[in-house]
């Protein structure tokens, strides 16, 4: 089975999404406090690593954006 996220870190995913969408648009796509209130890569990673449903949403958004070829 080919995993499209193989070799891609959560930090790379979040950084890429922030660079592409910005925090505000990212928060509109996925309404979680770490994207809304005083967002940072570090706080987002901390939250996403301990919140599987939120991490899944972030990974899905990343893959969808990759399929659209940004």
User: What does the alpha-carbon distance between residue 52 and residue 54 come to, in Å, rounded to a whole number?
Assistant: 5
Helices and strands: H and E segment counts in the chain: 4, 0
pLDDT tens sequence across 26-63: 999 999 999 999 999 999 999 999 999 999 999 999 99
In this prediction, residue 21 has a pLDDT band, given cuts at 50, 70 and 90, of very high
Q: What is residue 45's predicted lDDT score, i.e. its pLDDT?
A: 98
The kind and range of the H/E element at 24 are helix 10-29
Domains along the chain?
23-65 (1.10.720.30)
**68 pLDDT tier (thresholds 50, 70, 90):** confident
| Residue 70 token pair | 């940004």
Structure tokens at 60: 């899905």
| Cα gap 54→30, rounded to integer Å | 8
């Amino acid at each position: 089975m080919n995993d499209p996220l193989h070799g891609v870190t959560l930090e790379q995913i979040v950084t890429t999404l922030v660079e592409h969408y910005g925090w505000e648009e990212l928060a509109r796509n996925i309404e979680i406090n770490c994207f809304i209130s005083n967002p940072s890569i570090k706080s987002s990673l901390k939250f996403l690593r301990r919140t599987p449903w939120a991490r899944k949403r972030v990974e899905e958004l990343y893959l969808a954006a990759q399929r659209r070829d940004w």
